Amino acid sequence: RQPLSPCAAGERLCSTEEATAGSGTYTRHGFIFSSLAGCLDRKSEDNELPVVSVVRDSESQLLPNVGAVVTCKVCSINSRFAKVHILYVGSTPLKSTFRGTIRRQDIRATEKDKVEVYKSFRPSDIVLAKVISLGDAQSNYLLSTAENELGVVVARSEAGVQMVPISWCEMQCPRTHTKEFRKVARVQPQFLQT
C-alpha cells in the first residue's frame, strides 16, 4: 500500500487500464479523475487491478487564519460592509462555510474614505480576500481586499454572463458591453481556481 499523496479536484489520476475507479473519483474518456480535493489512495487486491480512491484527509478541515488568502462569495452588501461566505482557504475547499465581513475601510489601500461598497462588490461575486482578524462572537472573520491581487475575480452581469475585467475598478459584460464598477483583483496565477 502506497503512502497517500495529495490531489486536487478534477486531477487526472491514471488510465482505466491501470486501475478501477473507487470512491471520490469518476471516469471519463478512459481515465480516472479525482472528484474532490484530498489524498490519493491505491489499494491492490490479489492479481486484480488496484482500486484508486480519493479520501478527504482529516486535517482538511482548515480554519481560515490571519494572513490566509481566502476565496469567498458575496451574500449581501450595505453602505458599510459586504457579508461573505468563505469557500476556500488557499486552494483547499472548506467542508463548512464560514462567514466573513469586508468593511468599507478594508476594501482599498488608498482613498479609503471615498470607497463605496456597492461600487466594489455585488451579491454572488466571487472575491479573493485576506483574513485580517478572527472576528467576534458572531464568528465573523474580518477580511481585506486592500492589495492589488485581492478583490473580485468572478462577477456576473445583469444579463447573467461572466464579466471581463477592463480596469482595476470596472468589469464589462461581453454580451451587452455594459460596464459595472467592481474592486477588481489582479489575479496571481497560483490563486486561479480551475
User: What is the pLDDT, as a whole number, of residue 57?
Assistant: 60
CATH number at residue 31: 2.40.50.100
Residue 42 CB contacts under 8 Å (≥ 6 apart), including other chains: 1, 2, 19, 50, 51, 52
| Residue 142 pLDDT > 90 | yes
Distance of CA 54 to CAs 32, 96, 115, 173, Å? 11, 19, 44, 38
Return the residue matching grid coordinates 462588490: 121
Are residues 143 and 72 part of one domain?
yes
Read off the pLDDT of each residue in 75-98 and give the average, rounded to a whole number: 89
Q: What is the mean pLDDT of residues 139-163?
A: 91
Query: At which of 133, 150, 167 does a domain end?
Result: 150
Same-domain check for residues 46 and 90: no
Question: Are the C-beta atoms of 87 and 98 separated by less than 8 Å?
Answer: no
- Residue 173 placed within a domain: no
Does residue 81 sit in the same domain as residue 34? no
Domain membership of residue 62 (yes or no) is no
Amino acid at 180: E
Question: What percentage of the chain has pLDDT greater than the value 90?
Answer: 55
The rounded mean pLDDT for the chain is 86
Please indicate, yes or no, if residue 175 is contained in any of the structural domains: no
The count of structural domains within the chain is: 2
Q: Do 50 and 72 sit in the same domain of this protein?
A: no
Q: Are residues 45 and 114 in the same domain?
A: no
Average pLDDT over residues 162-186: 93
For residue 47, tell me if it sits in a domain: yes
CATH assignment of the domain containing 92: 2.40.50.140
- The pLDDT of 34-43, averaged and rounded, is 84
**42 and 96 assigned to the same domain:** no
Q: Indicate the SS3 state at residue 190.
A: helix
The range of the structural domain enclosing residue 135 comes to 68-150
Taking only the tens place, the pLDDT of each residue in 16-32 is 999 999 888 999 999 99
Q: Would the pTM of this model clear 0.75, i.e. be above it? A: no
Same domain, 35 and 77: no
The pLDDT tens digits for 40-68 are 888 887 778 899 988 776 544 567 788 99
In a domain, 139, yes or no: yes
Whether residue 116 is found in the same domain as residue 73: yes
* Whether residue 93 is found in the same domain as residue 51: no
